[in-house]
Every structure is written in C-alpha cells, then in structure tokens.
Amino acid sequence: MLGHRQLPGYVGDIWSPGALSTGVMADWPPFAVGERVRVYLEADRWRTAGWFEGAIVRIDPYSAHRSFHWVELDVPAQPLQGGWTDLISVLNPKHILRP
C-alpha cells in the first residue's frame, strides 16, 4: 500500500486529485516512444512559439529524474537562428503534455 506522499499528484503538502490533468506530474506514467504529445516552444528561442503537436520518436535518459524526449512535430517550427525543423528535443517536463 502506498503512503500519501507516494501517490501520483502529491506535491509538497498539497495533493490534488486532478493533478494529472493540470500538468503537475504530467509525465506520470512515463511517456513512451510513439505517444502523441503537445510541446511548448518558448519565444526566447523560437520564432514560432507556442504549443505544437507531435509524436515521441526517441527518449534519451539525462538523469535519474529527467530525460530528453525527441519529438517529431506535425508542423515544422522556426528557431531564432533561422531555418526550419520538425525534430526537437524537450528536457523540461513542464513543456510536454499529453493531448
């Protein structure tokens, strides 16, 4: 049996039953290759900032708690330095959500 601090959605001393749908603990259960996701591209690095849809094509571990999620976007995005890309890596778990 799990203690209340081990339940998905528990954050500090606050636990919300809707935490999974609000983005807290959004990566639980872990993402899988082939899964459809939405990723957020910030305006300080991207000319085409905002939420984009795509599919996870690869997951590279970074640390015990984070991974690089390689996402192939449905629509190419334009970085500030120019050009276009449809394959990006996402490290920040706040920037990747299930649709």
Predicted local confidence at residue 2, as pLDDT: 45
The total number of structural domains that make up the chain: 2
Query: 37 and 19: one domain?
Result: no
96: tokens are 């990747």
pTM of the model: 0.69
Query: 5 and 48: one domain?
Result: no
Query: 92 and 45: one domain?
Result: yes
Query: 44 and 14: one domain?
Result: no
Per-residue pLDDT tens for 36-68?
999 999 999 999 999 999 999 999 999 888 899
Which of helix, strand or coil describes residue 53? strand
Residue 34 carries which DSSP code? Answer: T
Beta carbons within 8 Å of 10's beta carbon, 6+ residues apart: 4, 19
Query: 43 and 21: one domain?
Result: no
Structural domain range at position 55: 31-97
